[in-house]
Structure 1
Amino acid sequence: MIRTAPPGVAHNARPYLYGGEESALTAALRAGQYNHSEVTEEFEQRVAAFLDVPDVVAVSSGTAALHVALLAAGVGPGHDVLVPSFTFCATVQAILATGARPRFIEVDPVTACTEPAQILAALTPATRAVVPVLYGGRAVDLTSARPALDERGVAVVEDAAQAFGSLQGERRVGATGVVTCFSFGPIKNLTCGLGGAVVPRTPLEADTCRRLRGLGIVESAAHRAEATTYTVGEFGMRVQMSPLNAAVGLVQLQHFTEAETRRRELWRAYAAALDGIDGLSLVNPDVDRTVPSMFSVRVLHGHRDRVFRALRDRGIGVGVHYPPNHTQPAFSEWHRSLPVIELLGREIMTLPFHQHLTPADADHAAQEVRRVLAGVSR
């Protein structure tokens, strides 16, 4: 097995810490409140201020954020939820957790994101929500579809797991008037270790999300500490964000400008190094407006699997994000013919992308791609 790569490019993705996370985590541990505390609430307030939104509800994961947001939007048994098949399976599992049915839809082959026309064409009388997936961090603008969706009572719940910090127009994703769900998992633009958040539309929706994440209990944790009873008003789950995770996220948020800069620089370094390679096309994240979470390419002419194996053998940590969900056994009941996504599923490949990498590392990985593609083309 050939190992010519710098150590960093052996990893497709890695968490990046700035140095203050350990002391923040230690302080949260010593405080002794591990389920919910003022640290979690401070994280919510800081994220809301960063996004310029009234409120943010922190939860235990991006999957939990989607589940809570869909329930808060009234999604349940008997409903259809439109969702691109080209996403991580967690998006679909969150829909199923509500009792609703996923209705898989296509994406644009250049951006790997769904478009308004695709959503409008897939509406059914049972459609209650649409979950656009912001693939690679790219914002999805559904402005032209919103009048028709609003008329039908269809909620938009953004899966922005990969898009924290990205822009739609002049505003951050999350501040554009729809329910937005973020992930703060290990390899995201901002990590809490594990975590997620919902950006609600209204104070009522925020209250609903907080009850759903906290076992349906009406009163706040601070109120319960001073009372002899509490009220369980509705269904709920235990998916709060721990202060331990929030402490890590607060440090990460202080350094987010650095994350934006370095991730855009790395994406542009890859794009320059890969320019002009035959048999390869880039998935366009609109990097000027996006804080990219990955670097995705399409390997053309049926060569993806050979190129993937050859690069792994050379120590380049390539990945596949993602196999189409409508072809998965767990979701076979909702299979539809989606030729664009099926082709993407055969061609997509992600190159190593994380903040430990330098532009020189990106250039090395790109040159290995160039060599491997030249070999398989012969």
Structure 2
Amino acid sequence: MIASSRPDTRRNASPYLYGQETAAVARVLESGQYGHTDVTEEFERRVAGFLGVPDAVSVASGTAALHTALLAAGVGPGDEVIVPSMTFCATVQAILAVGATPRFVDIDPATLCVNDQLVMEAVTDTTAAVVPVLFGGRAVDLATVRNELAERAIVVIEDAAHAFGSHNGARRVGATGALTCFSFGPIKNLTCGQGGMTIPRTPEEADRIRQIRLLGVAQSQSERANITTYRVDTFGLRYQLSGINAAIGLAQLDHFDTTEHTRRRLWRTYQEALVPLDGVTLVDVDADHAVPHLCQVRVSHRDQVFAELRARDIGVGVHYPPNHLQPAFATWRRSLPTTEQAGEEILSLPFHPHLTETDIDRVVSALGKALKSAGAS
């Protein structure tokens, strides 16, 4: 049972709750311990078990996960980080936060993701990391070039904010050997209200991330309870995940099989419903393996179609305006024709597990009318 009232197609995305989240939060509040607690650590263990990995380190947000991962990997001033321009600005801000330079790369027009060739063409002598974005939930497999990247001491840090639960081959994203970062924001596949998770590659890397998220303090919170001082060894930030947020995540994880099934079913419903429409290209998320986070189409006259749909109370969105065209990142602007064309055509349709098949029919019908009105079909 979903606790919140069901939004309609005016919403592009919406939190998806099962009802147990409220009681889980209440138990934490009643305990009187609201910060990083044993509930947080239980959530880390449960996520690690779900993914099939030795460890998982929670942090305050997906952006914090990227920031701490870059710091733990030793990326900093003088380093370049290869990143697609087609992503939320948080990905780029995390790179700038460690003092590194983003090197924007183009994308595959069908998936809106990077691929091996695009990455390797962008590598320079100062490349320290590659941050592939698992756009819409689709896994990005850089396996054929991972050895070459490792030989050059280039770390792969996956921005998997959209991809919790998705598979890369037989394994879930996060379990394939890359340093992986998840977001558990309000509308993600799994939500903590706000939060994130980093999947380390080694125990040493896990220790570094845990120390960074606790202001660089060497001793854990439980260790500090039994000593009169503590030691600060490194730069750090207050990036811990509270027990309140972790409790929401634990309740969500109990029902993730339902979330996964629902998101795949709704994406395939859209896929089938969009077939009769001319002038529409569905962005492929590989729904057989992904847990879809977005349902996006590409259309001509996008801005007019967007306005028409908004006028019909259809909650469309644009994910995302290309970052290399943003004023804040103009220093690193370069020609990315595929990204720029996608930026003019992409349209995110309402996509959240509250939707029904009738809702999707309404969205697709309105899209058809908007395309005709805009002359895009």
Q: Say whether the fold is shared (TM-score over 0.5).
A: yes
Q: What SS is found at the alignment partner of 2:281?
A: strand
Summarize the alignment of residues 322-341 of structure 1 with structure 2, pairs less than 5 Å apart.
322-341=320-339
Q: Counterpart of 1:337 in structure 2: which amino acid? A: S
Partner in structure 2 of residue 53 of structure 1: 53
3-state SS of paired residue (1:229): coil
SS state at 2:180 partner: strand
- Which amino acid letter does the alignment assign opposite residue 323 of structure 1? P
Equivalent residues in 2 for 1:77-226 (5 A)? Answer: 77-226=77-226
> Cα deviation per residue 1:110-141 (whole Å; 9 max; x = unaligned)?
00000010000000100000000000000000
Is 2:356 the partner of 1:350? no
Which deviations, in whole Å up to 9, do the C-alpha atoms of 1:144-196 show, x marking residues without a partner? 11121011100000000000000000000000001000000000000000000
Q: Distance in 1 between matches of 2:32 and 2:164?
A: 29
1:43/1:250 contact within 8 Å kept: yes
Matched, 1:264 2:264: yes
| TM-fit CA distance, 1:227 | 1.1
Aligned to 1:3: none
Which amino acid in 2 is paired with 1:282?
L
Tell me how far apart the structure 2 counterparts of residues 359 and 10 of structure 1 sit (CA, whole Å): 15
In 1, Cα distance between equivalents of 2:234 and 2:270: 50
SS in 1 for 2:181: strand
CA deviation after TM superposition for structure 1 residue 360, in Å = 1.5
Q: Deviations over 1:83-103 (max 9, x none)?
A: 000000000000000000000
2: CA distance between counterparts of 1:33 and 1:236? Answer: 23
Q: Supply the RMSD in Å over aligned alpha carbons.
A: 0.9
Letter in 1 for 2:324: H
Instruction: Specify the SS of the correspondent of 1:8.
Output: coil
Structure 1: stretches of 5+ with no match in the other structure: 1-5
- Judge which range, 49-58 or 143-152, deviates more: 143-152
Equivalents in 1 of 2:46, 2:7: separation in Å? 35
- Between 1:364-373 and 1:131-140, the stretch displaced more is 364-373
1:25 is matched with 25
C-alpha displacement of 1:7: 5.4
CA distance in 1, matches of 2:130, 2:29: 39
SS in 1 for 2:197: strand
Residue 359 of structure 2 corresponds to: 361
Amino acid at match of 2:130: V
Task: Give the TM-score normalised by the residue count of structure 2.
Answer: 0.97
Does 2:313 align with 1:315? yes
Kept after mapping to 2: 8 A contact 1:273/1:367: no
Secondary structure of 2:248's partner? helix
SS of the counterpart of 1:104? Answer: strand
Q: Which residue of the partner structure matches residue 234 of structure 2?
A: 234
- What is the CA-CA distance between 1:276 and the residue it aligns to? 3.0
TM-score, length-scaled by structure 1: 0.97
What is the match of residue 68 of structure 1?
68
On the 8 A contact 1:269/1:363 being kept in 2, the answer is no
Offset at residue 370 of structure 1 (A): 1.0
Q: Distance in 1 between matches of 2:266 and 2:277?
A: 18
Q: Which amino acid letter does the alignment assign opposite residue 275 of structure 2?
A: D
Question: Is 1:275 the equivalent of 2:275?
Answer: yes
Deviations 1:50-108 (A, max 9, x none): 00000000000000000000110110000000000000000000000000000000110
SS of alignment partner, residue 297 of structure 2: strand
Q: Structure 1 CA distance, aligned partners of 2:29 and 2:328?
A: 39
133-142 or 358-367: bigger deviation = 358-367
1:306 equivalenced with 2:304 (yes/no): yes
The separation in 2 between residues aligned to 1:209 and 1:299, in whole angstroms, is: 42
Judge conservation of contact 1:215–1:236 (CA < 8 Å) in 2: yes
Q: Would you say the 8 A contact 1:184–1:194 is kept in 2? A: yes
Q: Which ranges in structure 2 are unaligned for 5 or more consecutive residues?
A: 1-5
CA distance in 1, matches of 2:22, 2:71: 35
Work out whether residues 274 and 370 of structure 1, in 8 Å CA contact, stay in contact via their aligned partners in 2. Answer: no
Moved over 2 A (4+): none
Give the AA of the match of 2:178.
Answer: V
